Amino acid sequence: MSVVVAYKWAGDPQEASVGADGSVDFGRARPGISEYDAVAIQVGRNLADALGSALVGVCVGAAGAGAPVATKAALARGLDRVLVVADDSLATLGTAGTAQVLSALVGQVGDAQLVLAGDCSTDVGARMVPAVLGGTLGWATVTDAASVRADGAGVVVERTLAEGAQTLRLALPAVVAVASDAAKPQAPGMKDVLGAGKKPADVIAAAPLTPVGDGETLSAARAAAPARKGVVITGDAATAAGELVGALRAAGLLDKAGTGR
Amino acid sequence: MSRSYVIAAGHAGVGTLVAHAAALGGEVVALVVGPRDVAERVAAAGVTRVVWFDEAGGHAAEAFAPAVAALVGGAPGHVFAARRPADRVLLGAAAAALAAPVVADATAVADEGGRTVVTRAVYGGIATRTVAFDGPVAFCLDGGAAGEGDPAPVERADASPAGIVVTYLAPEPAGADLTRATSIVAVGGGLRAREDLALVEQLAAALGAEVGCTRPIAEGLGWLPRDRYIGVSGLRVAPELYVAVGISGQLQHMAGCRDAKTVVAVNTDAKAPIMSQADYVLPADLYELVPALTRALG
Amino acid sequence: MGFALTDEQQIVRDAIREFADAEVAPLAGVIDREHRPPLENLPKMAALGLFGMLVPEEFGGSGADTLSYVIAVEELARRCATHAVVVEAHSSLCCWPIVHFGTAEQKAAYLPVLASGEKIGAFALTEAGAGTDAGSSRTTAVRDGDEYVLDGQKVFITNGTFAQVFIVVARTSDDGAKGLSAFIVDRDTPGFTVGEPERKLGIRGSATNPLGFVGARVPAANRLGAEGDGYAIAMATLDGGRTGIAAQAVGIAQGAFEAAVDYAKQRVQFGKPIARQQAIQWMVADMATSIEAGRLLTHQAAALEDAGEDFTARASMAKLFCAQMAVQVASAAIQVHGGNGYTEEYPVERAYRDAKITEIYEGTNEVQRMVIARGALR
């Protein structure tokens, strides 16, 4: 059996530049594997070692995701091999399309019984790919897992939700998205980095199916940052505090206490 | 689209979803997973009817994903769900059954000549797009408050859960819902020690505000529960007053509090990103200013 | 001639940078103020394979190329010069000579434990009366049966406090520099003591200790190379160490430079960030240029070594240039910070203090000039 981890090769939107016409250019943003995906790979590594399984990474992205520097970076984190679909036409694949192509890759792994994913991606952050992936595969799916362990023919997941702490047992096959603190990822060591080039990386240049589109873009714009007053209040703590309280009171903000439960 | 679905897994906070669905026309069918009383609360939210998946505690709501997918696949329509773990999984299953695109951040949803036109933020909120869809769309948005209207009919679905058994649940009392709070005091990396949270809590008490935080405080350090973390993958809040204390204002955090009506920023670094995104800017040490504010509030 | 780093080298840089940002940076100021080594980070560095980079895979190391090693040292130094020299002294000055001059038994006995970080290495050549004039060392090693008896003192030995394996150069005959031999000495050798570390201007977290030998008996099997090879072994060892120190200097400079750039963008005087003042812009330009030049020299020296070509002069140039450059860049970085840069609240004063040692140890600037001139005037 193989344990699969879905990962992304993407840049941080904070480093992207947005044109006046709303177009987003990631050119100056160095792509990488996010800290969330690194956690998922670490959880996968721990599970694969416990089960004596292979750990396979799957990834969909622009051409850069298939470049050796990207596949080696992923392999250096602890994957045994990677399957990547990389083509620039896939750079703007939406959530649903990404999940579809990933599910096809999971099918290609053949003996996959468990797919792990990170909490969210750095660039899009929709937190929906694991759910759609699970739905496409027809596998039991849960998210926000704080821990995952193998148990007989299933996995036991622990997580903390707003309503309390839960322990779940899932029958395999399953898709589990892990919380950002489910494991502390080990930074790749020298041997991992130098050995990464020897592990298999299968890069496919075209999606194995026609994925679902993401709608027709009618227009784009830079995010309208709400106009902020930018009133600077300086001075010693007592004076500044007094001035702020006065301003908030004048704006009627100090009588609206309380929460709407 | 002649119908929209609104998913609710164990809660009734679907007011905003129902409003979007209703605006698109057609019947609004709530798909509720949970005990009967939740189904009845959702029935009062202004929906046409409720299909109730009876789940009283032995299975995770996610176990009904195949049943929800089968129902939605058999009678396609838009699907709306709140940003909550089980709701997302059910939405994902429905989206897969429909081969529908997924929209996770929409500020406007409208029907225009039979197409569904959506204005959405992209890439953590650095840009927006107006996109037209033909066919059903799966939306993951802020759920909104519970409704208080005339109850719609509730029909029990003939479906059983598949494969995800809850073996232990240690319930927590319902925490504050920061998405409904009128004031929030949020704290970030400027806080040096867990004990110092007391300062922030005192200010929040004086303001009648809830306490929120940035992701590292909740997930990295664990000083506050995860349901208090405000950011692009955490809570999106829109209070009247948002007091950000010791927060630098990274994109991922600001995406969660952008919609606050008034933002106050306290930070020793006058050039931190948040200082140019606030209504009141106080370049000061939170360890001096926060107690002073608490005192000034009496 | 390719200037691009290989994929592995880029990934090494990113991985060590990730580690340095997360685990090294928080300790850098602490160990400096407390004048103590980063012992709590040694196991983490070992787990990453940082102590096995120059040890071949067959002995448990990663068999990294010199350039990858140099990149790793620079990334450590960017956050903390001390962490960098712990790795550099262990790797270049202890692992390397055993790899290149050790017998099969010596390699099998020492390289695996050095590579795993279970034992840290050190190199002991310098004495109170023998610094640049290393050939005049007076610590003696007298043959007695199948042992040598060592008597004497060494000073300024990096990693002394916690190292377990010491390469010690001692005199086996009166023949000047040709009378020196090298030995692998275990810490627990009776008669061998490690003294209290020096309190220094910079790299304060680096343990710099005197060593004492009083009738310390070392097996003859632990002699590295033949009798009389000690000086040549030491010089060859220091040749390789040069590139490591050059990398450390580049890292120190890079860290100081980045701090200066951040500060310049934030500090507002006369209504605008000082980064908009031409004086600052020119300082930044000069810093950036000299760092890049130093890095390229260092990388080239490493690449020559990897190609099996003669790299001695290039390594000396790299160390000479980068050491002087690091001192200049650190000074300029303080200047950009103004009065703030002079306080302990900002990291640049530490960079300035740390940079100075690179002009002195593992061959002073003057020694480097001698080596370069000798090569040029041949």
- Strand C192-194 and strand C208-219: pairing? antiparallel
- pLDDT above 70 coverage of chain B, percent: 100
Candidates B268, B271, B285: best to mutate against C (most CBs of C within 10 A) is B271
Q: Do B101 and A161 touch (CB under 8 A)?
A: no
Helix, strand, coil distribution of chain B in percent, nearest 5 = 30, 30, 35
CA–CA distances in Å: residue C245 to residues A21, A114, C315, C322, C332: 49, 48, 10, 9, 21
In 3D, which of B160, B166, B135 has the Cα closest to residue B66? B160
Window 38-77 of A: residues touching B by CB (8 A cutoff) are none
Give yes or no for A219 touching B (CB within 8 A).
yes
Is the pLDDT at A258 greater than 80, yes or no? no
Q: Which fold has domain A2-209?
A: Rossmann fold (3.40.50)
Give yes or no for B271 touching C (CB within 8 A).
yes
In 3D, which of A198, A172, A178, A202 has the Cα closest to residue A53? A172
Mean pLDDT for the stretch of residues A95-122: 95
Q: Do C15 and A72 touch (CB under 8 A)?
A: no
CB–CB of A44/A115 below 8 Å?
no
Cα of C49 to nearest chain A Cα, Å: 5
CB–CB of B191/B203 below 8 Å?
no
Window 158-187 of A: residues touching B by CB (8 A cutoff) are 159-171, 179-181
- Strand A174-178 and strand A140-145: pairing? parallel
Give yes or no for A132 touching B (CB within 8 A).
yes
User: What is the Cα–Cα distance from B126 to A162, expressed in whole angstroms?
Assistant: 29
Q: How many CA atoms lie within 13 A of A243 on its CB side?
A: 15
**Residue-wise pLDDT tens digits, B258-284:** 889 999 999 988 888 899 899 999 998
Give yes or no for C67 touching A (CB within 8 A).
no
Give yes or no for A234 touching B (CB within 8 A).
yes
Q: Do B270 and C265 touch (CB under 8 A)?
A: no
**Residue-wise pLDDT tens digits, A56-67:** 999 999 999 999
Out of B99, B137, B167, whose CB is closest to A167? B167
Q: Do A187 and C62 touch (CB under 8 A)?
A: no
Q: Which two tokens stand for residue B165?
A: 């058994």
Instruction: Please tell me the least confidently modeled range out of A159-173, C17-31, C139-153.
Output: A159-173
Asked if C349 is an active-site residue, the reply is: no
Which chains border A (3 or more CB–CB pairs < 8 Å)? B, C
Mean pLDDT for the stretch of residues C341-365: 96
Tell me which long-range contacts A151-155 makes (C-beta under 8 A, separation of at least 24).
Answer: A155/A114
What's this model's pTM, rounded to 2 decimal places? 0.85
Q: Do A197 and C8 touch (CB under 8 A)?
A: yes
Give yes or no for B270 touching C (CB within 8 A).
yes
**Residue-wise pLDDT tens digits, C135-166:** 999 999 999 999 999 999 999 999 999 999 99
Give yes or no for A120 touching B (CB within 8 A).
yes
Out of A135, A181, A229, whose CB is closest to B65? A135
Q: Which residues contact A154 (CB under 8 A, 6 or more apart)?
A: A169, A170, A171, A172, A174
Candidates A24, A144, A163: best to mutate against B (most CBs of B within 10 A) is A163
Residues from chain B contacting residue C268 (CB–CB below 8 Å) = 270-271
Average pLDDT of every residue of chain B: 92
User: What is the Cα–Cα distance from C370 to C373, expressed in whole angstroms?
Assistant: 5
**Residue-wise pLDDT tens digits, B5-63:** 999 999 999 999 999 999 998 999 999 999 999 999 999 999 999 999 998 778 999 99
Q: Do A191 and C72 touch (CB under 8 A)?
A: no
Is the pLDDT at A256 greater than 70, yes or no? no
Mean pLDDT for the stretch of residues B212-236: 87
Which amino acid is it at B39?
A
Residues from chain C contacting residue A189 (CB–CB below 8 Å) = 15, 47-50, 62
Q: Is C220 exposed, middle or buried (0-12, 13-18, 19+ CB in 10 A)?
A: middle
Out of A32, A72, A190, whose CB is closest to C64? A190
User: Within a 10 A sphere around the Cβ of C174, how many other Cβ atoms?
Assistant: 8
Least CA distance to B249: which residue of chain A? Answer: A14
Q: Where are the alpha helices (DSSP H) in B79-224?
A: 85-98, 197-207, 215
Give yes or no for B269 touching C (CB within 8 A).
yes
Is the pLDDT at C19 greater than 50, yes or no? yes
User: What is the Cα–Cα distance from C168 to C128, expressed in whole angstroms?
Assistant: 15
User: What is the Cα–Cα distance from A161 to A158, expressed in whole angstroms?
Assistant: 10
Give yes or no for C268 touching A (CB within 8 A).
no
Q: Which residue(s) pair with A112 in the sheet?
A: A2
Query: What was the pLDDT predicted at C307?
Result: 94
Give yes or no for B264 touching A (CB within 8 A).
yes
Is the pLDDT at A261 greater than 50, yes or no? no
Out of A162, A170, A225, whose CB is closest to B277? A225
**What is the DSSP track for C132-166?**
S-GGG---EEEEETTEEEEEEEEEEEETTTT-SEE
CA quadruple B75, B76, B77, B78: dihedral, nearest 10: 130
Query: What was the pLDDT predicted at C356?
Result: 98
Is the pLDDT at A187 greater than 90, yes or no? no
Give yes or no for C34 touching A (CB within 8 A).
no
CA–CA distances in Å: residue B38 to residues A254, B31, B54, C79: 35, 11, 10, 55
Q: Which residues contact B141 (CB under 8 A, 6 or more apart)?
A: B16, B17, B20, B80, B81, B82, B83, B103, B104, B105, B106
Is the pLDDT at A225 greater than 80, yes or no? no
Q: Which two tokens stand for residue C66?
A: 């010199």
Mean pLDDT for the stretch of residues B121-142: 93
In 3D, which of C137, C191, C192 has the Cα closest to residue C163? C192
Give yes or no for B285 touching C (CB within 8 A).
no
Q: Which residues contact A54 (CB under 8 A, 6 or more apart)?
A: A2, A3, A48, A80, A81
Is the pLDDT at C240 greater than 80, yes or no? yes
Is the pLDDT at C296 greater than 70, yes or no? yes
Out of A69, A73, A189, whose CB is closest to C49? A189
Which amino acid is it at C41?
N
Q: Which residues contact C174 (CB under 8 A, 6 or more apart)?
A: none
Choose, from C23, C88, C127, C362, the residue flagged as catalytic. Answer: C362
Number of inter-chain CB pairs under 8 A, A vs C:
58
CA–CA distances in Å: residue B65 to residues A131, B34, C376: 10, 13, 77
Domains of chain C in sequence order: 7-115 (1.10.540.10), 121-228 (2.40.110.10), 232-377 (1.20.140.10)
Residues from chain B contacting residue C266 (CB–CB below 8 Å) = 269-271
Domain assignments of chain A as residue spans, ordered by start: 2-209, 226-261
CA–CA distances in Å: residue C7 to residues A32, A67, B29, B173, C12: 13, 9, 53, 51, 9
Residues of C within an 8 Å Cβ radius of B: 265-266, 268, 273
Higher pLDDT among residues C112 and C268, named by residue: C112
C128-147 as b/e, with b when 16 or more CB fall inside 10 Å?
eebbeebbebebbbeeeeeb
Least CA distance to C272: which residue of chain B? Answer: B271
Query: What was the pLDDT predicted at B2?
Result: 86
Residues from chain B contacting residue A231 (CB–CB below 8 Å) = 279-281
